[in-house]
Amino acid sequence: MTYKLRFGTAIVAIFIAASAQAETLTDALIGAYKNSGLLDQQQAVLRAADENVAEALAGLRPVVNYTMSAGYGGSSVFTATTTDTWSLSASLGISADITVFDNGQTKYAVNSAKENVLATREALVSVEQQILLRAVSAYMSVRSEVQTVGLRQNNVRVITEQLRAARDRFEVGEITRTDVAQAEARLAAARSNLAAAQGQLARAREEYRNAVGRMPGNLAQPPALAGVPQTEQAATQFAERNHPEIRRAQRLVSASDLDVLRAKAALGPTVGVSAGVQLGRERDGAYGLPTNNDTDTRSQNLSITLNQPIYQGGRLSSLIRQAMARRDQQRAGLHIVVHDIRQNVGNSYADLRVARASLAASREQVRAARVAFEGVREEATLGARTTLDVLDAEQELLNAQNDLIDASTQEYVAYYSVLSSMGLLTADYLNLGIQTYDPQAYYNLVKDGPVNRSSQGQRLDRVLRALGKE
């Protein structure tokens, strides 16, 4: 009897067929960046934060309003004869109000809004990292499951041949019915494992579609991994300076400090200037008909107002204490984030070390398991080994190959997790070669609070149309 070793041949054939027009990891990352609704959502959050700067800046700008009114009324005098008097009135007025001094409240509000904009930009980078890491995980998961399905299919074929050979040997009396039953049991288990692997592949493909925006095609071998800092300490120091979550927390602390100053400034005086002009016409006569008694009026005013709060029921003092409590909250949040990032760097490095050690061990395990299987197979042909021994050796080789696939997948995911823990898993750092979202462009258009009819407002309209938001 001769057992044929076919492990890996199906996988090699799949890789050769897929080499043409294969989808690369870079393609998957680009697809994830372009098709992520989560990224679109966070970009919209950032644009809303940009508008807060323009809204805060309006605090020291004039507010101009116009009013128009018209009225028609009359009265009746009952004497020997009834006299009706009617009048028609109309007025047009325009007024302007401006706060010329508010003890720094608007300045602090503007600067706080700017800090929140910068914090929201860092949050956008964090979301980008999550999206790209999910795409890497989905890509490697699909590749892993494809290889696993290939192994399981090959396993079914090999055990089918072993079962056929066992039945032939049983017919000539070389082995017992027990040996045949063992092969039949292994074949049933192999088919069950194949069905489970196919189910896992289907789940991995759905996750890929969700992460990348399309179903996976033929996925190419991912590129060789670049280097990372030699020591965990160097990576931690880099992350403490550059990770978007830490920088976001720092910006939120700065914004909360400014909010405290703004709350305290509300205790001070404010000075405002108001001006207005109102034109009116009143027409007296029976039922408002034209007469020689039409009256035109004009009034104008200019005033300066000084306002100083004396007592507001404790509200202002409460707002100050509330702002200080929120500042303390943000400071504590920064402390927590720093420790979390340090832990994430340590965990990512540990995962990478484990994955690389497992990969080296799995390669050695596959080599040894293959030698053992070939030896057991040859010994079985000489009658020195049973069918069960061959099946066990084959299962050992299959397990070793599965471990090798998992270790390779984990190495790639762990590597990109290290980049994410350092704050480097971005489209720019990975050099994906695509146009990325420019947070400064929209901010520059809205930071001065343009009105719709201005040239800057028209440019803003064009940007919104390009984004599909208008």
Q: What is the mean pLDDT of residues 197-226?
A: 93
Q: Residue 168 pLDDT > 50, yes or no? A: yes
Question: Tell me: the pLDDT tens digits for 240-287?
Answer: 999 999 999 999 999 999 999 999 999 999 999 999 999 988 776 544
Is residue 137 within 8 A of residue 157, CB to CB? The reply is no
Q: Residue 72 pLDDT > 80, yes or no? A: no
Q: Residue 115 pLDDT > 90, yes or no? A: yes
* pLDDT value, residue 1: 37
Least confident of 80-84, 166-170, 190-194, 259-263: 80-84
CA distance linking residue 374 with residue 382, whole number of Å: 13
* pLDDT value, residue 7: 40
Q: How far lies 197's CA from each of 147, 192, 203, 339, 369, in Å?
A: 10, 9, 10, 39, 22
Supply the mean pLDDT for the chain. Answer: 86
* pLDDT value, residue 12: 42
CA distance linking residue 135 with residue 143, whole number of Å: 12
How does residue 411 score in pLDDT terms, banded at 50, 70 and 90?
very high
Residue identified by tokens 């053992």 is 372
Q: What is the mean pLDDT of residues 153-174?
A: 86
Q: What is the mean pLDDT of residues 457-470?
A: 55
* pLDDT value, residue 462: 60
Contacts of 338 (CB under 8 A, 6+ apart): 240, 246, 249
More confident residue, 21 or 110: 110
Both tokens assigned to 123: 């949050």
* pLDDT value, residue 89: 81
* pLDDT value, residue 460: 54
* pLDDT value, residue 2: 39
Closest alpha carbon to 353 in 292, 429, 407? 407
How does residue 228 score in pLDDT terms, banded at 50, 70 and 90?
confident
Count of Cβ atoms closer than 10 Å to residue 194 Cβ: 18
CA distance linking residue 285 with residue 358, whole number of Å: 102
* pLDDT value, residue 175: 80
* pLDDT value, residue 398: 87
How does residue 457 score in pLDDT terms, banded at 50, 70 and 90?
low
Question: Tell me: the pLDDT tens digits for 3-53?
Answer: 333 444 444 444 444 445 789 999 999 999 999 899 999 999 999 999 999
The whole-model pTM stands at 0.82
Question: Tell me: the pLDDT tens digits for 141-152?
Answer: 999 999 999 999
CA angle 108, 112, 115 (to 5 degrees): 145
Contacts of 344 (CB under 8 A, 6+ apart): 239, 421
* pLDDT value, residue 78: 61
Q: What is the mean pLDDT of residues 99-110?
A: 94
β-strand partners of 87? 73, 284
* pLDDT value, residue 454: 55
Q: Residue 424 pLDDT > 50, yes or no? A: yes
Q: Residue 324 pLDDT > 90, yes or no? A: yes
